Amino acid sequence: MAKVRLNNAEGLLAFIREGRPMTLGQQLKLTVQLSIPAVVAQFSSIAMQYIDASMVGSLGAEASASIGLVSTTTWLFSGLCGACATGFSVQVAHAIGAGDMKLARMILRQALVAAHLFVFALAAVGIFISGDLPRWLGGDASICDDSSLYFLIYSSFLPLLQLNFLSGGMLRCSGNMHIPSLLSVLMCLLDVIFNFFLIFPSREVCWFGLSFFMPGAGLEVAGAALGTGLAELVTAGLMTWFLCTRSSDLNLSKERGSFLLRRTTIKKALHIGLPMGVEHAVICGAQIMTTVIVAPLGIFSIAANSFAITAESLCYMPGYGIADAATTLVGQSLGAGRRELTRRFARITVWMGMIVMGIMGVIMYVAAPVIIGIMTPDAEILSLGVMALRIEAFAEPMFAAAIVAYGVFVGAGNTIVPCFMNFFSIWAVRLTLAASLAPTMGLKGVWLAMCIELCFRGIIFLIRLEKGNWMKKI
């Protein structure tokens, strides 16, 4: 039994809480065990975007551009939901690291209430602005109606997205990476199924030499949004059920408790989540500004930019998976008061992210024509998208440093300084360069600016990581 405990993530996480020494091999093993399911979850999330882009891309450039136009705004709203969830889940990681499971469950109850109050207000904002948003972003009249409808449906499903983020974040911070990973894969599969029937009209299809009638709603762009929303509906229900009734640490049925919000918990959530929300707003605001810079370059550039961003996410998703593991490891280590172990986990996860994403960058450079070609048959969009991906491939290792180091800082509850670092890097470096280069170099100039900025951001995050003054638990 003891040997089994030594060889699984739950047993190794117990070493952190119990103050037991850990060898370098055990630290590496625990990091890998937590990272792999998290990477799978990230891959599934990105695959959903890739699937939507591919299916809608088969409808033509205008349909692709209609989603691409509002994609940065959907990321903004998703980021705000994620920041809200993280404000509470990091507190849970600290409580579990300290061995206080009662406190962890109390924070979870308050999180369920506070997150829903927040997301219903956010969804109302999204629904309200959906009609005018494409016009504000400078979209062509031919795509504005579809863009508005897509964003309206997306906003209506935001409460389910919030529930997914909150439940998944709580499970990951407790050390359970497998359930969020498995349910993310399920959500991806459901997205394919729902999209297949909702995007395309009823038609005759031929599979393996057999021809038969396939029913379909023919909703096109709206069908993509509905398909994703329905997939979120199923997985949000399953994730929340498991969290509240089956989780070994956070099972709410173990004891009765109040769902009333407490000032201390909300204050800590704001301390962690508010800078993250601002940071997401800064990044997505910059992406929106990038969309404004790209929009005058034409429909083909808008579509290629959107496809390249989606395709690049296949490359950096391992970084975000490892960052999730870093948040858990750093959060529990710091909660247990083990500063030296916290520092070691920070370095291990960052270097692992840089190596993995460096390899992914090479793959992305070589496979760029295939990756973009899956999403669009249009030759001009394909050419622009391949060019963008090959420029970005050179920035992936330093992008990984920024991604995983940020996950480390989140685990420590230290999010204010990284917020300002991101703000300066993106707005002072990326946008200034993009605005300068786009008029003469077109889409190539925009992506060259992004590559330079990501390298700069990775450097400043590595410098802060090594200084170590972020290791102060809230």
pLDDT for the residue 244: 92
Q: What is the DSSP string of 413-464?
A: T--HHHHHHHHIIIIIIIHHHHHHHHHHHTHHHHHHHHHHHHHHHHHHHHHH
What confidence tens digit (pLDDT) does each residue in 325-366 have? 898 899 889 888 888 898 999 999 999 999 999 999 999 999
Residues 6+ apart with CB under 8 A from 120: 159
Contacts made by residues 196-199, CB under 8 angstroms, sequence distance 24+ = 196/55, 198/222, 198/223, 198/224, 198/226, 198/227, 199/55, 199/56, 199/59, 199/223, 199/224, 199/227
How far apart CA 465 and CA 401 sit, in angstroms, is: 10
3-class secondary structure, 151: helix
Query: For the whole prediction, is pTM greater than 0.85?
Result: no
pLDDT for the residue 126: 96
Q: What mean pLDDT is reported for the chain?
A: 86
What confidence tens digit (pLDDT) does each residue in 377-410 have? 778 888 888 999 999 999 999 999 999 999 999 8
Domain ranges, ordered by start, for the chain? 22-467
Q: Please tell me which of 147-156, 270-279, 288-297 the model is most confident about, judged by mean pLDDT.
A: 147-156
Q: Give the least confident one: 66-75, 81-90, 323-332.
A: 66-75
CA distances from residue 338 to 16, 51, 343, 373, 411 in whole angstroms, order as listed? 8, 43, 9, 49, 13
pLDDT for the residue 3: 42
What confidence tens digit (pLDDT) does each residue in 38-50 have? 777 777 776 776 6
Burial of 296 from C-beta contacts in 10 A (0-12 / 13-18 / 19+): exposed
pLDDT for the residue 161: 93
DSSP 473: -
Q: Give the least confident one: 5-14, 157-166, 333-342.
A: 5-14
Whether 97 shows a pLDDT value over 70: the answer reads yes
Whether 2 shows a pLDDT value over 50: the answer reads no
How far apart CA 3 and CA 7 sit, in angstroms, is: 6
Q: What percent of the chain has pLDDT over 90?
A: 37
pLDDT for the residue 474: 57
DSSP 254: G
What confidence tens digit (pLDDT) does each residue in 297-316 have? 877 887 788 778 877 877 88
3-class secondary structure, 471: coil
What confidence tens digit (pLDDT) does each residue in 127-156 have? 999 999 998 888 888 888 999 999 999 999
Nearest to 226 by CA among 185, 197, 183: 197
Whether 1 shows a pLDDT value over 50: the answer reads no
Burial of 196 from C-beta contacts in 10 A (0-12 / 13-18 / 19+): middle
pLDDT for the residue 473: 57
3-class secondary structure, 246: coil
pLDDT for the residue 139: 81
Nearest to 433 by CA among 456, 406, 402: 456
Mean pLDDT of the 224-245 span: 93
pLDDT for the residue 127: 96
pLDDT for the residue 50: 66
